[in-house]
Every structure is written in structure tokens, then in C-alpha cells.
Amino acid sequence: MANSSDVVLHVKDCTYFHFPNGTEHGLIVPIPQPYAIARDWLGMEHPPIWLHDWQITKFMVTELFVAVLMLAVFLILARRIVQGGPPKGRFWNFFEALLIFTRDKIARPAMGKRDADRFMPYIWTIFFFILFCNLVSLLPWMGSPTGALGCTGALALIAFVVCIGAGIGRFGAIGYLFNQVPDMELPLVLAVFLKPMILAIELFGLVVKHFVLAVRLLANMFAGHLVMAVMVGFIVQSAGLMVWYGVMPASIFGAVALNLLELFVAFLQAYIFTFLSALFIGMAIHKH
């Protein structure tokens, strides 16, 4: 049975994987670290000192696993589509339906058909990366990368760079800045003061919107997994007491219900992040 301190292991990044196996502390599998690999596996007597601070964590391994899984799925799917055959099987129909959904219900309404098709590689990649991370995190030993600011912050930063790059690519750097200020017929005296203020507010709002994009995904995934972990932790805390016979089935039922809710949230949060990213790009490439 797991120790009560292990309740938050699922939502905490670390340098090992924790596999429940019925023992008191479970099975701890450490992740090989670069310094140890250089010293023990490569035979380097004095590895570079900077390798001390470079750690490979559980979330990093999970994200790499998700990337490989996406390549395995979509390289096969792309080959099937190029061959021109109809989709066969529920598995491949499921992914093609999601691809069409993100194109027709997310990207094109936000950016327009012509512009949306240019950004579809990014839109598809971001949607399925978040979705796969959310789904993989439902496995108790994998952890939740989208529940960490490092992951969601990087995704939001990429969205920010794509948004700014799209706007500059369409209007140029100066034109993009001018596009942040709505067209207003103002007297010169007012325009001199108001338009720079509006520009500063719009640029600040652009940064805030992408910061909130990261925090929204982080908060939803972290909170959901933490509540589920705490609910299962009730079983640990009541072990050996008479109330365990009532707490155990109630906690299991609640955990199953929350797991089903998290399955829905996995799709919902991938949709929300992708839709807002597409919306911000659409705002950047069209005049206000």
C-alpha cells in the first residue's frame, strides 16, 4: 500500500517512475541521468560539470513518449491518406474525424479557409500533443506533463511566437503594431495621447492572454489529477480502521467517476487551447 506522502506523486515532476505493485512503497524506477550515463555507461572519468545540473524528469520522458506515439500514428495515417483509400476501422476513422473537426470547427472559423490551411500543421500538432499528453496522464504511473508550468508555458510561448510571426508576416513589423490600434477618427490632440496608450494596452493584453493560456491548461489538469489522487489517498489514510470498509468503495467509485470526467476534460482542454491559439492567430492576421 502506498505511503500517504505519495498522493501527489502523480502531479509532481521527479526523476523516477513510481509503479504501484501492492507493496508498502511500490516500485521506484529511477530515470538514468546524463551525468551518470557519461560516467558509468560511457566510461568518462570526469564528465562535464554542467551535466550535474541537467536532469531528465518523468514529464520529459512522458512528452518524448507522446511525440514518438504521435509519429507512429500519424506517419501511418498520412501514408494511408496519400494512397487515396477510404478510412477503414474505428481507430483510423477516429483520428481522421478529429483532423477534420480541428480544421472545420476550430481553424477555419477563426482564421478563414485560406489562412487556416496554411496553419493546419501547427494547429494539428498542438491539438494532438495536448490531447495525447492528457490521455497518457490518465495512467497512474505516467504523470501529467500538462499539469506543469514548464510544459504549458512552453506551449503558450510557441503560440505567442506563431501569433506574432503570423502578424508580422502579413503586415510587416510596423504594420502589425499599427494594426493593434483600431481605426478611430480622433482629433490629432487626442490621437497623440490615446493611440499610444491603446497600443501599450493591446500589447500588454497580448502577453497576458498567452500567459492565461498556459495557466488555464495547467490549472485544469493539475486540479483534476490532484483531486483524484487525494480521493484515492483516503483509502490509504483509513487503512486499518473500521471506516475503511465504507471509505474504500466510496473512494473507488469517486475515482472512477472523476477518471471519466478527466477523459472528457482531456479532449475539452485540448480543444480550448487549440481554439484560442487559432483565434489569436486569426486576430493577428486580420485588421481590427
> What pLDDT, in 10s, does the model give residues 208-261?
999 999 999 988 888 877 777 777 777 666 666 777 677 778 878 877 887 888
Between the alpha carbon of residue 13 and those of residues 91, 142, 209, the distances in Å are 31, 10, 26
Residue 17 gets which letter from DSSP? E
Whole-number CA gyration radius for the chain: 24
> Do 272 and 106 form a contact (C-beta atoms < 8 A)?
no
Using CA atoms, how far apart are residues 202 and 136, in angstroms rounded to an integer?
37
Lowest-confidence segment of 4-13, 92-101, 225-234 by average pLDDT: 4-13
Judge whether residue 278 has pLDDT over 90.
Answer: yes
Q: What is the pLDDT of residue 57?
A: 87
Element (H, E) at 286: none
Q: Which three cell numbers stand for residue 280?
A: 489569436
C-alpha 121: how far from chain center: 16
Q: Which of 39-43, 67-71, 76-80 has the highest mean pLDDT?
A: 67-71
Q: What is the pLDDT of residue 54?
A: 81
> Do 131 and 266 form a contact (C-beta atoms < 8 A)?
yes
What is the band of 3 on the pLDDT scale with cuts at 50, 70, 90? very low
Q: What is the pLDDT of residue 8?
A: 59
